[in-house]
Chain A
Amino acid sequence: MNATATATGTVVGTYLTFQVANEEYGVEILKVREIIGMLPITPVPGSPGVMLGVVNLRGKVIPVISMRSRFTLPAAEAHPHNVIIVVEGATSGSPIGLAVDCVKEVAKFTPDDTEPPPAYGLDIDTSLVAAIGKNHDRIRILLDLSKVLAAI
């Protein structure tokens, strides 16, 4: 079930989708460790702006990244649906939290359901996008997690 890039740059696999601002995004389900409700976040001085801070995940201190700020979208009021998606870190494999507005569903994508990211017209940096999912009459932006976590 691993997501694999096909010749056309589209992806196949199972994704966890979530909402940030007006768009629905997806990350590979295999990279997701768990979904937790919002926790009190301790800001870490001197860290990059996308990093909200650190939280106590059952005794482990893990960093949390704001997906709004990663996509250079404006911050929003806190909402009870806000959650942290805990994913495996790109390099060390240690967990990293992604703060999102809310989670939506777990969806499967076949090559027919996806197409390569367009060069223009997206709210976010195209280089973060692996493919566009277009099944179930919805447009969902499937993210390349390693790029999302890199360089911040």
Chain B
Amino acid sequence: MALVTSFRQIQRNVDGFSLRVNFEDWIRDVPLPPQTSLVGFGEKHDLFIYPEWRFSFQTDCTDEVWSGTFRVALSLTEVVAWFQTKLMKQGWATIPEKTFIESDWASLKFYFPETTMRVSVSLRWWEDLKDTQMTIWRVTKHPLPSAVESIPDSQLALPIAEDAVREGA
């Protein structure tokens, strides 16, 4: 579980909510290449999309999703090699059948063994800007506890009701 020092905004979504966080609060277990920054849009490139920490309520689980859009002044090949090396060192395993590397875009997929965590890295080379744009998602599935497990022990004995019976007697 990651903790953030502060957040910029709470957003409601169709199936949950999300927090917009600062660049500095990006998760440590999915590192970014050196010199990475937020992508800036608009004429002055001053419209930033901040990373998002999102909770999405599904019927059988809650999805916790970290996502962010970043840029780095490295070639697509360099960025692909960086992620493949760095994430493997961090314990992530690649999913070869879902990994695609083309001349101007790439899609890399990783999972963390024995957990429900996976990471998707979507890369695109911007020729005019000479940078690579990275959109990254880290998804963790939190299964719903069973009905019995979800009731705290203190509530199973119904102590308030018992007290009421005793007081009445």
Mutual binders A and B? no
Task: Give B residues with C-beta under 8 Å from A.
Answer: none
Task: Give A residues with C-beta under 8 Å from B.
Answer: none
